[in-house]
Amino acid sequence: MAAGWRTLTIRETTFERLSKYHELKNIEKKLSPWIDDFLIMNLDKGNFLTQKYAPHLKNMGIHDNFVLLNDEKNKGFVKVILKDGKLHCDVDKSDHCVHIQYVMALPELSEFFRNKK
């Protein structure tokens, strides 16, 4: 093991997905350093979202067809609803407000869309 690196166990299916993506995109960086960068970038993205871009918003839960946010600036809950494959904010009656942007940047978004077709 190279200095500064540790061994980590991940699911076989996760490894296969990452490995396949890495190969399909012809990423020059070797798989392990690429996954290391990928994890850090996602962590930084989440921190940027919650600490700098929209610290007044909090994900209160992902439901079957909506994400519930608490908006401390507007002192209330906001539903971002998935309808016909698009996200819609019930407070701003919009598909391009800060609530939509926040939900689009959530790492959990893939979980929200996973079973939707």
**Which of 68/97 has CB closer to Zn ion?**
97
**Site of tokens 């906001």:** 78
Length, in residues, of the chain: 117
What CA–CA distance (Å, rounded) separates 43 from 18? Answer: 17
What CA–CA distance (Å, rounded) separates 65 from 81? Answer: 6
Question: Which string of DSSP letters, residue by residue, matches 63-101?
Answer: -SSEEEEEETTTTEEEEEEEETTEEEETTTTBSSSHHHH
Range 91-110, binding Zn ion (CB under 5 A): 91-92, 97, 99
The two three-digit tokens of residue 2, written as one number:
């190279």
Instruction: Give me the 33-62 binding string for Zn ion, x by CB under 5 A, dash otherwise.
Output: ------------------------------
- CB of residue 115 to Zn ion, shortest distance in Å: 24
- CB of residue 48 to Zn ion, shortest distance in Å: 19
Range 66-95, binding Zn ion (CB under 5 A): 89, 91-92
Residues facing 61 on adjacent strands: 68
- CB of residue 114 to Zn ion, shortest distance in Å: 23
- CB of residue 111 to Zn ion, shortest distance in Å: 21
Query: Which stretches of the chain bind Zn ion, using CB under 5 A?
Result: 89, 91-92, 97, 99
